[in-house]
Every structure is written in C-alpha cells, then in structure tokens.
Amino acid sequence: GESVGLHLPTLSVQEGDNSIINCAYSNSASDYFIWYKQESGKGPQFIIDIRSNMDKRQGQRVTVLLNKTVKHLSLQIAATQPGDSAVYFCAEIGYKVIFGPGTSLSVIP
Amino acid sequence: KAGVTQTPRYLIKTRGQQVTLSCSPISGHRSVSWYQQTPGQGLQFLFEYFSETQRNKGNFPGRFSGRQFSNSRSEMNVSTLELGDSALYLCASSLADKRGDTQYFGPGTRLTVL
C-alpha cells in the first residue's frame, strides 16, 4: 500500500492549548485533502477538508492550512480538549486516496 | 441518516480459512471503498466499488476480493487467511459522483487470524 506523511506518531498537549498536527503529501496533482479523527475502537471521522485552490479553511475550533509549494498540510485545533485525544490522519485525494501514517494526540488535563 | 454499518464487528478465524465481511453504505451513497488498517502499515486502500463495478484497486494479493450489490451494499472476501491478515477492516462510502467526494467510514471489523 501507499502512505504519505511525516512520521510524527505522538503529540502531547496541555488542555486549553492549541494543537498543530502536520502532514506531508506526495502527489502535487492531488486536488483535495481531508483530515480525519479516529478514536479508539471507532472508524475515522471526517473533520475538515480543503481543495487545492485554497490555502486555508476554518471550521469549528479547527483550521486546515495547505502549502502547495512544499506539499504540506496542517491541522490546527484551538483550545484543545480531552475529547480531542485521538489519532489524526491526513488524506490526499487525486486519482486515488492516500492516507498519512497518523498522529496520536494526547491531551493532558 | 444512518451511518455506514459493518458486520460483524469482531471475527476470529484460523489460518487457511476464508472470511466474508459486509458493509452497508449511507443511504444514497453509491461508492464503497475498503481499507485495511494495521499498526505497522496504517490505512491501506484495498478496492473501491461503484455501481456494482470495481473502479479502483490497491496493491493486495488476489486472495482479497469484493463485490457490490445493486443496493450498494458491499462484501469483501479474504481466502486462505494468513496471520498477517489480522487487522481492522474499514469500509467507507461516498456519493462519488465526482472525484474527491468525502468518504464516511464505518466502525470497522476487527479480524484476528490465529
């Protein structure tokens, strides 16, 4: 199989702080990107997406930034809460879907 | 609207057996994709079905197969199970009327091969 992403397996953040999760993608032709959250025992859950003609997109407490020059994607979570603890995956969609290896976010109360 | 459902949720098999997993997509979704998730390899794409036809395929051996029915429900089959097939198998559905449609995942089937 194929995967994409910086190997950053674990991120620990104090409750209330902002979290930044990074991802590198491989295909400059990918035109759509998604961030997923996967809690223990559950399937990945859609968080936010961004198309390649955008640099930034904001949701509720989450912001995705896309830097096409360096093929980098980031997810920012504002005021991180214990319920944000999970594994976060980026996915790039071109002619196929490629998932990043995932980052485990741990929120310290 | 009900989400993606997968059955069974847990399965234990022995080497050499075969297994069939089932996925019911969100109502109205015509595309179903299957993924294998393991701690070592992460999420790996198996195949995608759209309107009962396999539209895309990942790099897995022929022991892994699937099909889609006219109601968009999908099954995947793994024959001659190996220990390395132990994984969480995830199904995701999307409208897929254009490339880049968001995929919505089911809870997965946890397969353990002994």
Amino acid at A50: I
Best mean pLDDT range from A37-46, B40-49, B67-76 = B67-76
Size of interface A-B (CB pairs under 8 A): 64
Chain center to CA of A37 = 8
Residue B36: pLDDT band (50, 70, 90) is very high
Name the residue in chain A with its Cα closest to that of B108: A43
Strand (E) or helix (H) holding B53: strand B53-57
Task: Provide, as residue numbers in chain A, all residues whose Cβ is less than 8 Å from the Cβ of B43.
Answer: 1, 3, 44, 89, 99, 102
Using 50, 70 and 90 to split pLDDT, how confident is the model at A5? very low
- As a 3-state breakdown, chain A gives helix, strand, coil percent values, each rounded to 5, of 5, 55, 45
Judge contact between A91 and A36, C-beta under 8 A: yes
pLDDT, tens digit, 9 for 90 and up, residues A22-57 = 999 988 888 899 999 999 888 999 999 999 999 999
Share of chain B above pLDDT 90, in %: 77
Q: Give residues with Cβ within 8 angstroms of A28, minimum separation 6.
A: A68, A71
pLDDT at B16: 97
Query: Per 3-state DSSP, what percentage of chain B is helix, strand, and coil (rounded to 5)?
Result: 5, 55, 45
